[in-house]
Amino acid sequence: MSPEQILAEIREANLSYLMLAQSLIRTDREQALYRLGVSEETAALIGTLTPAQMMKIAGGSTLLCRFRMDDDIVWNLLTSHGKGAANDGLSRLHASILLAGRHSEAA
Amino acid sequence: MARNKSILTEAKQIERAVTLINLGARLQVLESETDLSYERLLRLYKEVAGKSPSKGQLPFSTDWFMTWQPNIHSSLFLNIHEYLNKSAALDEIDNVIKAYQLYTEQISTYGLEPLLSVTRAWRLVKFVDNGMLTMTACSKCGGHYVTHPHEIARHFICGLCNPPARAGKGKLAGSLQLSRRDCDQTHTDHAAPTAH
């Protein structure tokens, strides 16, 4: 990927993220907090962004959203589903319980 | 002025009641969470659901939440509920409604049936408020699970880290299936019968 391409892709991803986040927040604020994993202040900020502001923010060289599964347990649960199809639902369920609990500590 | 306000409140309560009925709540939940009269709720119920509400008592035991599969479902719901509770200022019943919607949505993406009804979810939150049930962190994975109060946290291992011998054997559609072979690989200390 050329540098120009990288910047264009990042911009695209940022823009999609911001637009999705904004429509989630406008549809149901509280549920959006859970889905996005952001604080109420951040949600209020994203909710009021104008399209022009969005374009400006999206056009940086870094991504705006951050990876949420930054620990081994959750990561292993989510990636090991190939080894036993029967346990797939179970490990994903396990991972979502862990994630839901984790975020409540962070918020 | 007071009159205006009461109509607004009533409109809000009717809206809540309709949402709850659509989620499958029993009449007792509506009676407890709104100030609408029994007769009006009954009429509303028939109008929204197109049938009479089921009769009989609500399930009142905390034991159901302790069995393997219901415990997993309840824990997921309660974790979401706690999340919303901490991050947003909502009326208690709205919190239950929103958390329940997120729970059913998440469960259906895994191809499972929502085992926890909204009535049970509401009941669960009441049990936790009364201190009859609580959440304890698993000593293995660190997740929070519904347990009886005074569970010894240092020794507590959740049903997902250590499934009981008969867990996941049910053939009911939409229920959790567990293949024992995989389970034994991850929990070698677990002496479960492997007969299929």
Q: Interface pTM (ipTM) of the complex?
A: 0.84
CB contacts, 8 Å: B176 with chain A: 89-90, 93
Q: How far is A64 from chain B (nearest CA, A)?
A: 21
Please check whether residue A17 is in contact with residue A64, taking contact to mean a CB–CB distance below 8 angstroms.
yes
Give me chain B's average pLDDT, please. 84
Asked if B44 and B64 sit in the same domain, the reply is no
Domain count, chain B: 2
Of B83, B110, B168, the CB nearest to A92: B110
Percentage of residues in chain B having pLDDT higher than 70: 82
pLDDT at residue number A49: 95
pLDDT at residue number A81: 55
Q: Which residues of chain A have pLDDT under 70?
A: 81-87, 103-107
Asked if B76 and B154 sit in the same domain, the reply is yes
Asked if B83 and B43 sit in the same domain, the reply is no
pLDDT at residue number A89: 73
CB contacts, 8 Å: A44 with chain B: none
Q: How confident is the model at residue B150 (pLDDT cuts 50, 70, 90)?
A: confident
State mean pLDDT over B47-70. Answer: 88
- Supply the DSSP string of B126-140, one letter for each residue: HHHHTTSSEEEE-TT
Asked if B107 and B163 sit in the same domain, the reply is yes
pLDDT at residue number B178: 60
Check if A96 contacts B (Cβ < 8 Å).
yes
User: CA quadruple B92, B150, B118, B45: dihedral positive or negative?
Assistant: negative
Residue B54 within any structural domain of the chain: no
Q: How many CB atoms lie within 10 A of CB B163?
A: 23
Asked if B98 and B30 sit in the same domain, the reply is no
Q: Alpha-carbon distance B187 to A90, whole Å?
A: 15
Check if B101 contacts A (Cβ < 8 Å).
yes
Is B90's pLDDT higher than 90?
Answer: no
pLDDT at residue number B58: 84
Q: How far is A1 from chain B (nearest CA, A)?
A: 34
Is B9's pLDDT higher than 60?
Answer: yes
Asked if B108 and B14 sit in the same domain, the reply is no
Asked if B38 and B95 sit in the same domain, the reply is no
* Beta strands, E only, B41-180: 134-137, 144-147
User: Nearest 5 degrees, angle CA A101-CA A102-CA A105?
Assistant: 95
Phi, psi of B167 (to 5 degrees): -65, 140
Residue B87 within any structural domain of the chain: yes
Residue B170 within any structural domain of the chain: yes
Element (H, E) at B101: helix B92-109
Residue B166 within any structural domain of the chain: yes
CB contacts, 8 Å: A82 with chain B: none
Task: Among A29, A104, A105, pick the best mutation site for testing chain B contact (most B Cβ within 10 A).
Answer: A104
Q: Chain A: residue nearest B137 by CA?
A: A101
Q: Alpha-carbon distance A82 to A68, whole Å?
A: 21
Check if B83 contacts A (Cβ < 8 Å).
yes
Please check whether residue B104 is in contact with residue B115, taking contact to mean a CB–CB distance below 8 angstroms.
no
Asked if B22 and B115 sit in the same domain, the reply is no
Q: How many CB atoms lie within 10 A of CB B94?
A: 16
Question: Tell me, what amino acid is at B68?
Answer: W
In this structure, of A82-91, B71-80, B124-133, B185-194, the range with the lowest mean pLDDT score is B185-194
Of A84, A89, A101, the CB nearest to B112: A89
Asked if B35 and B112 sit in the same domain, the reply is no
Q: How far is A72 from chain B (nearest CA, A)?
A: 10
Residue B86 within any structural domain of the chain: yes
Q: Supply the pTM of this predicted model.
A: 0.84
Tokens of residue A22, six digits: 């904004």
**Contacting residues for B164 by C-beta, under 8 A, at least 6 apart:** B68
- Top mean pLDDT of A66-80, B54-68, B101-115 is at B101-115
Asked if B133 and B42 sit in the same domain, the reply is no
Asked if B44 and B66 sit in the same domain, the reply is no
**Chain-chain contact of A100 with B83 (C-beta, under 8 angstroms):** yes
Helix segments in chain A, DSSP class H: 3-27, 29-36, 40-47, 51-58, 72-79, 88-106
**Contacting residues for B99 by C-beta, under 8 A, at least 6 apart:** B77, B80, B81, B83, B84, B121
**Chain-chain contact of B87 with A86 (C-beta, under 8 angstroms):** no
Task: Among A24, A25, A30, pick the best mutation site for testing chain B contact (most B Cβ within 10 A).
Answer: A30
Task: Among B79, B104, B178, pick the best mutation site for testing chain A contact (most A Cβ within 10 A).
Answer: B79
**Chain-chain contact of B183 with A103 (C-beta, under 8 angstroms):** no
**Chain-chain contact of A89 with B111 (C-beta, under 8 angstroms):** yes
Asked if B45 and B63 sit in the same domain, the reply is no
Check if A97 contacts B (Cβ < 8 Å).
yes
Please check whether residue B70 is in contact with residue B115, taking contact to mean a CB–CB distance below 8 angstroms.
yes
Range of the domain at B26: 2-49
Tokens of residue B52, six digits: 């009479």
**Chain-chain contact of B168 with A90 (C-beta, under 8 angstroms):** yes
